[in-house]
């Protein structure tokens, strides 16, 4: 018996020297936990590998060589180490329980017990309520700080879009006059007027002799000399109308009535104030009916013809005020109003032409001059707006994350309106004053997608 006792004592010493696992019967006895001891030490949180490897189990388990996993109790939780999960991963805060652990890199991999990935990173616990179906994304305060998540409340702002488009200056078609004869005529004399000369209404341009005009004038003078009521009311009126139909200037007709003489040559005058654009009259030339002798344009008011992109047509309307900048005059602007939107889109450039009426009192704007139009669109009334960086746009759907506080973010679909200066109008989805995420919202969106993927993976594994 003494020999047997010595053998047992030697075996126990060997077991102690080898870490308690050299002799299986002793190792098994060391791993057995009685109910009384478990109650005294606290509830069992999990079971860990007896060799300290990063392998854990929520229920009793044995190694491949038959050794029991060591229990870890709530009252005797050891300090965290590179091979042991911290207590926060094992014991949930408050009364909530850990449902499972998810991969820290976002992979579709979950574990019912604490675990490490291939790089030694601890799996992240998912507590009761964190994977609910309310659509709210929950993040820890530490993760929010590391990701740089920032929020800004929606506020009322004036959103006015600025449209810029190039164009050219053109003459106002209603302010151009052509001087031509309505009967065969001869140019007797041409005034000192050339192309580009500015003329006034009534200023003499040339002297014309026309047989048809001379005949009508002689007939009119004859009727005036009769001085009879019948002649004045009938034949005289017809003679005067004949001169008018031959486009004889009104001052010439008045001079004939006063002098009672038929002029040999008639002085033809400018019909309006303007610039001489074309001068074809030459002294001694024969002018046929319809020949253009002078072309005069009033440039005190001009048009700006501007090509606007098709996508901007909805923001433009007749009557809008426009600022026009001529490339020849740095820093100077000309105020105008949109008068016409032409009913056609250029199929090659996908632009539509608009007409802007401009005052040009000092004649600075010249025909065919290049200009740039700045068109302000939108209402002056403030609307609910948020920074453009807050919008997650998938092309067919626009959404934002509303900051609900305490690390909770609610995705919400929105309807957008006009954009200006980095802000976008919110027509539906967000109320004035609601805070929205304006920075790192893509990371929250990734967390939301990961949450949905992990939930689907967990439900698929449970089936």
Q: Are residues 213 and 278 in the same domain?
A: yes
Q: Are residues 226 and 150 in the same domain?
A: no
Q: What end-to-end distance do the CA atoms of the chain give, in Å?
A: 60
Q: Give the pLDDT confidence of 358-384 residue by residue, as tens digits.
A: 999 899 999 999 999 999 877 778 899
For the chain, helix, strand, coil in percent to 5 are: 25, 35, 35
The span from the CA of 198 to the CA of 275, in Å, is: 4
CA distances from 80 to 55, 61, 88, 132, 275 (A): 14, 21, 10, 30, 93
Predicted confidence at residue 97, as pLDDT, reads: 75
Asked if residue 139 belongs to a domain, the reply is: no
Q: Are 399 and 392 in contact (CB under 8 A)?
A: yes
The span from the CA of 404 to the CA of 228, in Å, is: 101
Q: Are residues 449 and 417 in the same domain?
A: yes
The span from the CA of 122 to the CA of 82, in Å, is: 9
Predicted confidence at residue 77, as pLDDT, reads: 47
Q: Are residues 373 and 385 in the same domain?
A: no
For the chain, list residues with pLDDT below 70: 1-43, 45, 54, 74-96, 105-108, 128-135, 227-236, 447-463
Q: Pick from 415, 435, 436: which is nearest to 427 by CA? A: 415
Q: pTM to 2 decimals?
A: 0.56
Q: Pick from 396, 405, 408: which is nearest to 444 by CA? A: 408
The span from the CA of 339 to the CA of 336, in Å, is: 9
- φ/ψ of 53, rounded to 5, equals -70, 155
Q: Are residues 265 and 311 in the same domain?
A: no
Predicted confidence at residue 441, as pLDDT, reads: 78
- Which residues pair with residue 206 across a beta bridge? 190, 268
Supply the range of the domain harboring residue 324: 162-172+299-377
Order of strands, edge to edge, in the sheet holding 124-127?
A: 110-111, 98-102, 124-127
Number of domains in the chain: 5
Q: Are residues 208 and 190 in the same domain?
A: yes
Q: If DSSP codes are grouped into helix, strand and coil, which group holds residue 180?
A: strand
Predicted confidence at residue 230, as pLDDT, reads: 44
Residue 310 makes CB contacts below 8 A (sequence gap 6+) with: 345, 350, 351, 352
Give me Rg for the CA atoms of the chain: 48
The span from the CA of 365 to the CA of 123, in Å, is: 73
Q: Are residues 283 and 186 in the same domain?
A: yes
Q: Give the pLDDT confidence of 285-307 residue by residue, as tens digits.
A: 999 999 999 999 999 999 999 99
Q: Which CATH number is 396's domain given?
A: 2.40.420.20
Q: Are residues 265 and 356 in the same domain?
A: no
Asked if residue 75 belongs to a domain, the reply is: yes
- Residue 365: Cβ within 10 Å count: 22
């Amino acid at each position: 018996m003494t020999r047997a006792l010595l053998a047992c004592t030697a075996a126990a010493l060997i077991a102690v020297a080898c870490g308690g696992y050299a002799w299986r019967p002793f190792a098994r006895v060391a791993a057995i936990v009685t109910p009384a001891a478990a109650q005294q030490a606290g509830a069992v949180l999990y079971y860990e590998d007896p060799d300290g490897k990063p392998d854990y189990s929520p229920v009793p388990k044995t190694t491949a060589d038959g050794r029991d996993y060591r229990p870890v109790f709530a009252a005797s939780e050891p300090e965290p180490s590179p091979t042991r999960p911290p207590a926060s991963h094992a014991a949930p805060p408050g009364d909530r329980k850990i449902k499972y652990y998810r991969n820290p890199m976002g992979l579709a991999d979950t574990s019912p017990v604490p675990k490490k990935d291939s790089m030694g990173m601890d799996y992240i616990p998912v507590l009761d309520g964190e994977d609910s179906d309310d659509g709210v994304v929950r993040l820890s305060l530490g993760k929010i700080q590391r990701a740089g998540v920032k929020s800004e409340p929606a506020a009322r702002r004036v959103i006015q879009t600025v449209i810029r488009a190039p164009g050219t200056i053109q003459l106002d078609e209603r302010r151009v006059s052509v001087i031509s004869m309505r009967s065969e005529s001869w140019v007797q004399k041409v005034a000192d007027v050339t192309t580009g000369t500015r003329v006034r209404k009534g200023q003499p341009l040339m002297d014309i002799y026309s047989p048809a005009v001379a005949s009508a004038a002689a007939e009119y003078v004859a009727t005036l000399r009769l001085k009879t009521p019948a002649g004045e009311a009938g034949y005289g009126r017809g003679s005067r109308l004949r001169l008018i139909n031959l486009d004889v200037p009104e001052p010439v007709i008045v001079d004939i009535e006063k002098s009672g003489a038929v002029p040999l040559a008639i002085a033809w005058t400018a019909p309006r104030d303007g610039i001489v654009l074309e001068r074809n009259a030459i002294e001694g030339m024969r002018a046929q009916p319809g020949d253009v002798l002078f072309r005069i344009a009033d440039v005190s008011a001009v048009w700006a013809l501007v090509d606007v992109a098709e996508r901007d047509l909805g923001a433009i309307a007749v009557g809008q005020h426009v600022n026009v900048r001529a490339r020849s005059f740095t820093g100077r602007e000309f105020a105008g109003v949109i008068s016409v939107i032409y009913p056609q889109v250029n199929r090659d450039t996908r632009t539509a032409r608009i007409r802007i009426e401009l005052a040009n009192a000092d004649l600075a704007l010249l025909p065919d001059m290049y200009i740039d139009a700045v068109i302000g669109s939108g209402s002056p009334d403030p609307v609910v707006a948020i920074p453009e960086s807050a919008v997650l746009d998938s092309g067919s759907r626009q959404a934002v994350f509303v900051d609900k506080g305490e690390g909770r973010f609610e995705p919400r679909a929105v309807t957008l309106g006009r954009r200006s200066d980095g802000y976008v109008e919110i027509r539906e989805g967000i109320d004035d004053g609601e805070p929205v995420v304006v920075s790192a919202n893509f990371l929250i969106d990734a967390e939301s997608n990961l949450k949905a993927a992990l939930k689907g993976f967990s439900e698929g594994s449970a089936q």
